[in-house]
Amino acid sequence: MAEKNIPMSKEQLEALTERFPTPFHIYDEQGIRENARRLKAAFAWNPGFKEYFAVKAAPNPYLMKILKAEGFGSDCSSYPELLLSERVGVVGEEIIFTSNDTPAYEYQKAAELGAIINLDDITHIDYLEENVGLPELVCCRYNPGPLKGGNAIIGHPEEAKYGFTREQLFEGYRMLRDKGVKRFGLHTMVASNELDRNYFVETAHLLFELVAELSAELDIAFEFVNLGGGIGIPYRPEEEAIDLAALGQEVKALYDELIVGKGLKPLDIRMECGRMVTGPYGYLVSRVLHKKNTYKQFVGLDACMVNLMRPAMYGAYHHISVVGKEDAPCDFVCDVTGSLCENNDKFSIDRAIPQVEIGDLVVIHDAGAHGHSMGFNYNAKLRSAELLLREHGEVVQIRRAETVEDHFATLDLEGLGAFDV
């Protein structure tokens, strides 16, 4: 069972709202650090193991700096993410740049930083060579198609826009070899928020066998395989987190059989987890503004899907606690909603929660990844602040809330008076 605890008391949260109006996201530094160490320990048997934190999950430089201190690199997919990594001192091969439909200037920045470039398509080999030049080390993203099932969030691999087919992969590495590339990596990413440990063991098996085949046919050696991310988190209280230690040992058994046992060059194991690193240690704190009783019961918050899109986008479950009523019976069935002019702006539907009153604080759990980062400005809503609960108990602001001035900053309001209609 996944415990849904809040790392602060009701009194502490109420005091915090006097400094930082709701809604806001708050992250638990201690929880993030301890979780990062569990992942590293699970693969400590592999001397070259590297986790590249998926920046898209929580693109805040304060969180990235914490993870850098824990030995993590960055998995980047855009120019601004590269700049964020550079700002916190994550450069060189501490970055893997995995993107698609990529403009040349983004490849150029990745090359300037010395990042590992992970190509998404066979046509990108010539595109990269013509616009930037081929680096010494190149990785390619494999899409196994129907050989590997996807899941509800990422879909079926054969329908995904990502990656090389098997045939393209062999031709692509042949092209890279013949163009003078000397160092090689192999990557795949075919699931998201997956809680079945066997899925990732099977992915390792697939890649280890593929490395052996590519090495034999093309006479090249691989430095690493990137198993991707996709490790899920137990959003529902009845779910169980993946046993990272067991996963590490099962991948090791395959490694010993398929890499060591076949006399292949030692491989570094790489991963690019985001959700499972920070997700369980982020909380969206909001306050009840209204209660409505029409054809059903509604509880309206001062947060909306601008602050957390996943429930509206995927129908995703996020656990909801009413602060101070964690042990009260859940005997009030309602929809918990936001204020957007969209009927899917709901954090939950027909959810049984404790009886709530206007003014109660509400915490939405597991919002530390793909929460604030997926924010937007529909209805001219402003994105909320991000806070960090430090290990010693201090709370610091790591991103201020947007203001109306921020929202209007890209508009030429001064020129509006001279605009002739």
Contact criterion met (CB below 8 Å) for 239 and 195 = yes
- What are the φ and ψ backbone dihedral angles of 285, each rounded to 5 degrees? -100, 125
pLDDT of residue 353: 98
58-67 in b/e form (b: 16+ CB < 10 A) is bbbbbbbebb
For residue 151, name the pLDDT band (cuts at 50, 70, 90).
very low
What is the mean pLDDT of the segment spanning 24-38? 98
Asked if the model's pLDDT at residue 402 lies above 70, the reply is yes
pLDDT of residue 202: 94
Closest CA to 78 of 50, 39, 106, 112: 106
Among 42-56, 134-148, 303-317, 352-366, whose mean pLDDT is lowest? 134-148
Rounded Cα distance, 227 and 64, in Å? 21
Beta strand 95-98 with 116-119 is parallel
Asked if the model's pLDDT at residue 377 lies above 60, the reply is yes
Rounded Cα distance, 164 and 169, in Å? 6
H/E stretch holding 222: strand 222-226
C-alpha 257 chain-centroid distance: 31
Query: Which has the higher per-residue pLDDT, 421 or 329?
Result: 329
Contact criterion met (CB below 8 Å) for 240 and 234 = yes
pLDDT (tens digit per residue) in 66-92: 999 999 999 999 999 999 999 999 999
Rounded Cα distance, 89 and 87, in Å? 6
For residue 157, is it left (φ>0), alpha (ψ between -120 and 50) or beta?
Answer: alpha
pLDDT (tens digit per residue) in 248-307: 999 999 999 999 999 999 999 999 999 999 999 999 999 999 999 999 999 999 999 999
Q: Half-sphere exposure (CA, 13 Å, Cβ side) for 30?
A: 10
What is the mean pLDDT of the segment spanning 55-70? 98
Q: Which residue has the tokens 């404790």?
A: 354
Q: Half-sphere exposure (CA, 13 Å, Cβ side) for 55?
A: 29
The CATH number of domain 29-276, selected from 3.30.70.580, 3.20.20.10, 3.90.1150.10, 1.20.1600.10 = 3.20.20.10
Rounded Cα distance, 367 and 25, in Å? 8
pLDDT of residue 19: 97
Domain extent listing, the chain: 29-276, 280-408
Q: Half-sphere exposure (CA, 13 Å, Cβ side) for 90?
A: 32
Residue 403: partners with Cβ closer than 8 Å, 6 or more residues away: 382
**Which of 140, 304, 330, 341 does the annotation list as catalytic?**
341
pLDDT (tens digit per residue) in 324-370: 999 999 999 999 999 999 999 999 999 999 999 999 999 999 999 99
pLDDT of residue 191: 82
Q: Name the CATH superfamily for 280-408.
A: Lyase, Ornithine Decarboxylase; Chain A, domain 1 (2.40.37.10)
Asked if the model's pLDDT at residue 203 lies above 80, the reply is yes
pLDDT of residue 149: 54
Averaged pLDDT score across all residues of the chain = 95
Count of all residues that appear for the chain in the document: 421
* Measured CA distances, 124 to 102, 129, 143, 188 (Å): 9, 8, 15, 17
Asked if the model's pLDDT at residue 5 lies above 60, the reply is yes
Beta strand 361-364 with 320-322 is antiparallel
Rounded Cα distance, 122 and 164, in Å? 7
Active site residue 140: no
Residue 16: partners with Cβ closer than 8 Å, 6 or more residues away: 8, 26, 285, 387, 395
Asked if the model's pLDDT at residue 154 lies above 50, the reply is no
Asked if the model's pLDDT at residue 153 lies above 60, the reply is no
Rounded Cα distance, 37 and 21, in Å? 33
Query: Does pTM top 0.85 for this prediction?
Result: yes
* Measured CA distances, 325 to 147, 313, 333, 360 (Å): 48, 28, 15, 10
Rounded Cα distance, 197 and 243, in Å? 8
pLDDT of residue 421: 84
What is the mean pLDDT of the segment spanning 201-226? 97
pLDDT of residue 189: 87
> What is residue 260's three-state secondary structure?
helix
pLDDT of residue 190: 81
Asked if the model's pLDDT at residue 388 lies above 80, the reply is yes
Rounded Cα distance, 173 and 170, in Å? 5
Rounded Cα distance, 300 and 346, in Å? 9
Rounded Cα distance, 231 and 233, in Å? 7
pLDDT of residue 414: 86
